[in-house]
């Protein structure tokens, strides 16, 4: 069997978070560009769908975990909600802050929303219980050293009736499609990483982390264990991506 620990950015033990931090510090400047290439721009639609499912608007507060360069945080603010994005990577947040500086005047005028970024760990959120109407995480849960704890933190800071919405890579149920899709992640995506960021391993990491990720069934089970209501999974492109929605 192939060694799933062979990727330099995937550490299954105590150094998991540190290695993930190194990965995003290295790719931050090209992250948005490579997202467009590897998903053919589709990630933009999936993120919009995630934000619609969060069902926030003016007068509400939304928290976006592992916000990276801020795509989802900005989209949440565009609804008129107050949006806070958190991430532990200073490099990714620096890109988000640059985008905020360019957008904020327009955002204030057109959306009425507010955007704030905070550098902190998703596993130890600096917020009190029940502070948010919706808590989102996009392509972040798979990267956490402890996904169960990440979900518990989302749960803790969401108000009763608040929404938890999770977008990430998925595991297609259809064997043929899964084989094709995994081959794409194994063979082609690292090539994009090498060409755009000079680092194939940073993108080979996606499949390494996906193989260890609870994905559709496992994340649903963890949400139910927390006591979540209305747990729903939306499969996108045959389950290659998925969105989990739940109500606290
Ligand atoms: C693949 S990026 C996703 C960025 C953004 N949400 C998006 O969808 O484009 C994953 C992000 O998770 C962040 N991250 C990973 N583990 C984290 C943790 N424990 N606490 C906070 N951020 C974390 C990384 O720094 C990185 O910015």
Look at residue 2 in the predicted model and tell me its pLDDT.
44
Alpha carbon nearest to ligand 1 atom 4, residue: 68
pLDDT at 209: 94
Report field, pTM of the whole predicted structure over 0.75: yes
Look at strands 114-119 and 241-247 and give their pairing.
unpaired
pLDDT value for 106: 65
Ligand 1 centroid – CA 68 distance (Å): 5
Q: Give the rounded distance of the alpha carbon of 203 from its chain centre.
A: 15
C-alpha 30 to ligand 1 mean position (Å)? 15
- Could you name the CATH architecture of 16-247? 3-Layer(aba) Sandwich (3.40)
Measuring CA to CA, how many Å separate 2 from each of 150, 171, 180?
Answer: 28, 18, 17
Structure tokens at 219: 């994340």
* Residue 102 confidence (pLDDT): 83
What number does the ligand 1 atom closest to the CA of 144 have? 16
Residue among 66, 76, 206 whose CB has most ligand 1 atoms within 8 A, to mutate = 66
pLDDT of residue 150: 98
Whether ligand 1 lies within 6 angstroms of the CB of 92 is answered as: yes
Residue nearest to atom 16 of ligand 1 (CA): 144
Q: Which residues of 176-213 are buried (b: 16+ CB within 10 A; e: fewer)?
A: eebeebbeebeeebbebbeebbebbbbbbbbbbbbeeb
Per-residue pLDDT of the chain (248 residues; tens, 9 = 90+): 344 447 889 888 889 999 999 999 999 999 999 999 989 999 999 999 999 999 999 999 999 999 999 999 999 999 999 999 999 999 999 999 999 888 766 666 666 568 999 999 999 999 999 999 999 999 999 999 999 999 999 999 999 999 999 999 999 999 999 999 999 999 999 998 899 888 899 899 999 999 999 999 999 999 999 999 899 999 999 999 999 999 99
Q: What pLDDT shows up at residue 1?
A: 39
The confidence score (pLDDT) of residue 45 equals: 97
- Can you give the pLDDT at residue 96? 96
């Amino acid at each position: 069997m192939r060694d799933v620990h062979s990727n330099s950015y995937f550490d299954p033990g105590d150094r998991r978070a540190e290695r993930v931090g190194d990965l995003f510090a290295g790719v931050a400047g090209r992250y948005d560009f490579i997202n467009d290439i590897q998903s053919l721009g589709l990630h933009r639609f999936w993120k919009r769908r995630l934000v619609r499912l969060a069902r926030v608007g003016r007068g509400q507060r939304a928290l976006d975990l592992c916000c990276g360069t801020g795509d989802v945080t900005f989209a949440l603010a565009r609804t008129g909600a107050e949006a806070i994005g958190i991430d532990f990577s200073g490099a990714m947040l620096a890109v988000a802050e640059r985008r905020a500086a360019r957008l904020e005047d327009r955002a204030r005028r057109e959306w009425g929303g507010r955007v704030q970024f905070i550098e902190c760990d998703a596993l130890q959120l600096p917020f009190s219980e029940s502070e948010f109407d919706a808590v989102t995480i996009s392509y972040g849960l798979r990267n956490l050293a402890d996904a169960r704890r990440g979900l518990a933190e989302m749960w803790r800071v969401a108000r009763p009736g608040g929404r938890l919405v999770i977008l990430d890579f998925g595991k297609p149920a259809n064997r043929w499609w899964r084989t094709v899709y995994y081959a794409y992640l194994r063979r082609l995506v690292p090539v994009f990483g090498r060409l755009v960021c000079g680092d194939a391993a940073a993108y080979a990491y996606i499949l390494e982390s996906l193989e260890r990720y609870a994905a559709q069934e496992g994340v649903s089970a963890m949400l139910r264990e927390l006591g979540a209501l209305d747990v729903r999974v939306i499969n996108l492109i045959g389950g290659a991506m998925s969105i989990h929605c739940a109500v606290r």
